[in-house]
Structure 1
Amino acid sequence: MSTRPDPAPETAAAPAAPSAPGAAPAKPGSEWLHYAVRNPKLIIGFSLVVVLLAIGLLGPPLLDNGNPNEYVGPQASAPDGTYWMGTTTFGQDVYAQFVHGLRSTFLVGVVGGAIAAVIAMLVGFLAGYRGGVLDEVLSMLTNVVLVIPTLAVLLIINAYMGVRSVAVQGLFIGLTSWPWAARAIRAQTFSLRTREFVDLARLSGSGTWRIVFREIAPNMSSYLFMMFILLFGGAILIASSLDFIGLGPTEGVSLGLMLQSAQQWSALQLGMWWWFIPPGAGITAIVGALYIANVGLDEVFNPKLRES
């Protein structure tokens, strides 16, 4: 599966792309905050993400058993007072796996999304501001990476790696999922580079990177933030797909690996709903909450979408 829209995500599962940041410089944070605290989509989306993140961060230290894959209880036991989410067919605690899986899911999203965002900004800002031959070279590089079947490349890489970790998985996802974001940033930078405040900075002798990060980037801050949310959610979806087909981390546990194990050991046929529903619901909740929050942010930052 691919989460590389042009310039906005095309897959049904990926969140919708943010609206253009507009021509005017960024508005004061106080005005954004005024609308943010009154936007139910934003509050609901971010609240759900924060709750799931808190479970992932605080859950493992509170568990008596630090190893989520250890056999600790009766086999195929339904949820009860001792094992809140039941046990697997091997007696593993599903709750322990779930909270550790949340942590891994957020980690791969942050690593993959951050790497993709940094590459996209570097390529997009340079291509959009400098133009000319550099723009043509970077655009060609972007188009080459854009047409490469990302999932197939990740399948090959993961299949030939002896040891796979969440961080390495996030690294490869980030290195292959930045092109659509770079093209979107390039387009916005190209429209902002002719504004008067950029011309004044250029006439004052400011260098390329100073103009980019002091003049152009601040006027795209809301757009860049929403872009990171899309990359974050896309990294989680790609990682979950790799995990489900057995190419996830070789050590530890993730929500995708929980689904893969449940499918491999016939949890659905055995009626062990507590094994596959929590990880599936967790992935859906994270990505869905990010989508809702992204829509809310779009309404906050875009005056045309604000509700009175």
Structure 2
Amino acid sequence: MTSVLKTFLRNRKAAIGLAIVIAYVIVAIAAPLIAHYEPLARVGRPHQAPSADHWLGTTRMGRDVFSQLIYGTRNSLMVGVLAGFIVTAIGTTIGITAAYFGGLIDDVLNFLTNVVLVLPQLPLLLVLAAFLGQVSPLAIALIIGLTSWAWGARVTRAQALSLKTRDYIQAAEMIGEPSWRMILVEMLPNLLSIIGFNFIGSVIFTIITQATLEFLGLGSPLTLSWGTMLYNAQNASAIIVGAWWEVLAPCAAIVLIGVGLSLMNFGVDEIANPRMRSLGQVAKALRLERRLSRQRMQEAK
């Protein structure tokens, strides 16, 4: 585990992305210590511009935008991580099971995966959320988690099928290893990069989707997240009246966490994919060669 973490941190993209994500987690945990005001308390004038008292200004109701942003990080991260776990657990279970057992089990699970895969995801989420009414963050996480696992299952199945043909897997089968041990001990550790890639991608998708659903008014107005901040800013016509900070703050938070998670995803891909690693080494060698060439030209002058 330590060697895996060291390899991960040696990758510049993964290290920067992890630092951004850890910063968000710290903000979410320490929200009461960081926020200056209660997020739903009226503490200033309506649409007050950013100042020393209110770093990111206030809303139409006179609420501190910075405090709302800090507390909103909790809900948005919670929904993203929970839905990511659900998507990864379902996709990994179905993918490995289908690949290992094959036959009828593979046909049934593959058919189910294909059915879920061809469903238009965002329209389906909109219909489900509209049918349920204004849903809580937990319900949004469950809806996204239970409808977004198909891609991860397909990728996991493909990778598990290639693992199944490896010599050590076949040797373990020949000596009579039980199925549960074959899956959990022999195959699952070799799929960690795919599982990590699936989890991180699911968290990104969930955070953006949650913000979209809540911006459209399908979330609960009693909860505080980046999506409800955008919804309230839209209802208050924040852009029209010049209160740009109400929109900029949650949008910047979504973009930055997306950048951090994407960098982690790229890092995982480069670490797990030998071709990506070799391309990175070639690019690094080319940059070094250009730098040396410029130095030689300057010395020649």
Task: Tell which structure's C-alpha radius of gyration is larger.
Answer: 2
Which category of TM-score, normalised to the shorter sequence, fits these structures? Answer: 0.7 to 0.9
**In structure 2, distance between residues paired with 1:294 and 1:162:** 34
Within a 5 Å distance, the mapping from 1:198-237 to structure 2 comes to 198-237=169-208
**Structure 1 equivalent of residue 230 of structure 2:** 259
CA deviation after TM superposition for structure 1 residue 304, in Å: 3.1
- TM-score norm. by structure 2 comes to 0.87
1:248 aligns with: 219
Between Structure 1 and Structure 2, the one with more helix by share is 2
**How far apart in 2 are the matches of 1:128 and 1:80?**
58
Shift of residue 77, structure 1, vs aligned partner: 0.6
Partner Cα distance (2:205, 2:174) in 1: 40
The separation in 2 between residues aligned to 1:117 and 1:56, in whole angstroms, is 23
Number of aligned residue pairs: 279
2:28 matches 1:56? yes
Indicate yes or no: 2:27 matched with 1:46.
Answer: no
User: Retained in 2: the 8 A contact 1:164–1:251?
Assistant: no
Aligned runs of 1:148-167 on 2, under 5 Å? Answer: 148-162=119-133, 164-167=135-138
Deviation at 1:33, TM superposition (A): 4.4
Structure 2 partner of 1:182:
153
- Identical amino acids, percent of aligned pairs: 39
TM-score, normalised by the number of residues in structure 1:
0.85
CA distance in 2, matches of 1:44, 1:64: 28
Partner in structure 2 of residue 142 of structure 1: 113
Separation in structure 1 between the aligned mates of residue 15 and residue 165 of structure 2, nearest angstrom: 36
Q: Structure 2: give runs of 5+ residues left out of the alignment.
A: 282-301
How many Å apart are 1:273 and its aligned residue? Answer: 1.5
CA distance in 1, matches of 2:73, 2:91: 26
Q: What is the alpha-carbon distance in structure 2 between the residues aligned to residue 62 and residue 46 of structure 1? A: 21
Give the Cα–Cα distance (whole angstroms) in 1 for the partners of residues 202 and 241 of structure 2: 36
Contact 1:113/1:232 (<8 A) preserved: yes
1:87 Cα deviation from its structure 2 partner: 0.5
Alignment of 1:91-102 (within 5 A): 91-102=62-73
Paired position in structure 1 for 2:239:
268
Alignment of 1:74-153 (within 5 A): 74-153=45-124
Equivalents in 2 of 1:137, 1:301: separation in Å? 30
Structure 1 residues not aligned, in runs of 5+: 1-27
User: 2: CA distance between counterparts of 1:115 and 1:88?
Assistant: 35
**Aligned pair in 2 of structure 1 residues 215, 53: CA closer, same or farther (>3 Å)?**
same
Q: Matched residue of 2:222: which SS?
A: coil
